[in-house]
Amino acid sequence: MIDFSDLGCAEAPLSLFEEFTKIPRGSGNTSLIAEYLVNFAKERGLFYYRDSSDNVVIKKPATSGYGSRPTVIIQGHTDIVCEKSAESDIDMEKEGPRIFRDGDLLRADGSTLGADDGVAIAYALAILDSKYIPHPEIEAVFTSDEEIGLIGASALDCSTLVGKVMINIDSDEEGVFTVGCAGGVRIDYSLPVKECEPCGRCYRLSVSGLLGGHSGIEIGNGRANAIKLLGRALEALPIHQVTDISGGNADNAIPRDAEARFTAEIITEENLEALEEIIAPIRESEPEAKIELCECEPSGACVDSESTEKILSLIREIPTGITAMSKDIEGLVETSLNMGIIRLSGEGLSLTVSVRSSENSEKAALRDRITAIGEALGASVTPRGDYPGWAYRKDSPLRDTAVEVYREKYGKEPKVITIHAGLECGLFSDKIEGLDCISIGPDNRDIHTPAECLSLTSFRRVYEFLLDVLKKI
């Protein structure tokens, strides 16, 4: 067990975090964490509800003196992005992240930590478990599969909830209150290919060492996309046929690695120089970035030259990164697209992208534009997980209370912002009329990557802040 005894009141939620983090809970694999939450409620005699999507709601009555206060929804998601380093042997389908303490930081060995959004689970469970924390009635809402399209929140029947005040704990910077966010949609492409016998030598081309990161956060910092770079590199080479291609693991994570196998007659020094010209500018901001090319053994059938050209065209023609900046808020990304996952199999090429925008009309326009690109190349295109943005609320007693508590506690003003990343708050605001909502969280860096790390002192401060807000509501 990790020693958290120096962190005061945060020891309880951190110990719970360590306990449930042993459970594998990648997106699409949330039944065990849902079962854990149900058992947690049963053991404490609390009302619980679990639906067929593995969403779990746990309710706790108000403590003495707080019965007349508004019911508060504390909300977060149970699934995590399962990214791991190339060297790691962890099977995240079968085990949770192997976490350890590194001074003030909590990390995982070779994988994502899962503080996105394990922090919300830990805070909520600690409050549900405590006999001493004063609070109004609590409705703890744990949603599934947020990371692959807010699937759980979309399916949740909110008629079971009475709260009109919600604190979402899915933000990653202390002292920042999020009060609005972009909407989004995932788009899946399926491109049929024709197979043929390989012609020429077989080569392996890889792009690696990129920083990656959450596509709703880091895309505004211009981080390179490994799939897009791989496509550019392939087009710089005299290839005949692609035999394999893969990259990325989540549509909302900027891919750090991608690779392809292909056939060609011969690779010249001039070709290698062209690859260096592609990667050199990237190294200025991502120093570990590299492109590697080597000869390899054939790996079975190839796709023919026509199919190869269609694959390269699809990667080339679909934009990635920022497509528009906000006209109203300086520095805020309005619309973006992330090419997140690509795979080639005997059934064809599959590609998944994530579109985000704070303007619904722009989201729809970009969706339609890239749908047309895919269809023109013969791909079937399927949108899924379309979710609304979360509009800024001019009158928000919850926001005002949170700002007041923060000001009294720390003697300074918090940042109140809207963001480009998607949050479940938009869906809840659509489903619960008059919902007053904010999103908070402690400092959590490099989420959706194996470098993810959580500041423990920040975790403690935000937990203390949350408890103070519950007293004031």
Same fold, 5-182+389-472 and 186-387: no
Closest by alpha carbon to 129, among 21, 5, 45, 30? 45
Q: Which two tokens stand for residue 181?
A: 């966010």
Name residue 44's amino acid: R
Scored b (16 or more CB within 10 A) or e, 396-427 reads bebbebbbebbeeeeeeebebbbbbbbbbbbb
Phi, psi for residue 360 in degrees, rounded to 5:
-60, -35
C-alpha distances in angstroms, 205 versus 83, 194, 212, 258? Answer: 21, 21, 19, 9
Q: What is the pLDDT of residues 48-70, one digit of tens each?
A: 999 999 999 999 999 999 999 99
Tell me, what's the pLDDT at 86?
87
pLDDT at 373: 98
User: In sequence order, what are the residues at sequence separation of 6 or more whose Cβ sits closer than 8 angstroms to the Cβ of residue 393?
Assistant: 179, 180, 399, 436, 437
Q: What's the pLDDT at 346?
A: 83
What pLDDT was estimated at residue 385? 85
Model confidence band, residue 118 (pLDDT cutoffs 50, 70, 90): very high
Q: What percentage of the chain reaches a pLDDT higher than 90?
A: 90
The most confident of 120-124, 214-218, 331-335, 342-346, by mean pLDDT: 120-124
Q: State the chain's mean pLDDT as an integer.
A: 96
* Alpha-carbon span 264 to 72, nearest angstrom: 62
The CATH number corresponding to 186-387 among 3.40.30.10, 3.30.70.360, 3.40.50.300, 2.60.40.10 equals: 3.30.70.360
Residue 334: both structure tokens together: 């309005």
Contact 255, 317 (CB under 8 A): no
Structure tokens at 67: 């019965």
Give the pTM: 0.79
Q: pLDDT band at 197, cuts 50/70/90?
A: confident
Instruction: Select from 395, 407, 390, 394 the least CA-distant residue to 472.
Output: 407
Residues 287-307: what's their mean pLDDT? 91
pLDDT of 301 strictly over 90: no
The domain ranges of the chain are 5-182+389-472, 186-387
Dist CA 294 CA 279 (whole Å)? 16
Distance CA 257, CA 426 (A): 32
Fold for the domain defined by 5-182+389-472: Aminopeptidase (3.40.630)
Confidence category of residue 360, pLDDT binned at 50, 70, 90: confident
For the four alpha carbons of 225, 314, 325 and 442, in that order, the dihedral sign comes to negative
Quick: pLDDT tens for 1-46.
999 999 999 999 999 999 999 999 999 999 999 999 999 999 999 9
For 393-442, how does the pLDDT look when each residue is reduced to its tens digit (9 = 90+)? Answer: 889 999 999 999 999 999 999 999 989 988 999 999 999 999 999 999 99
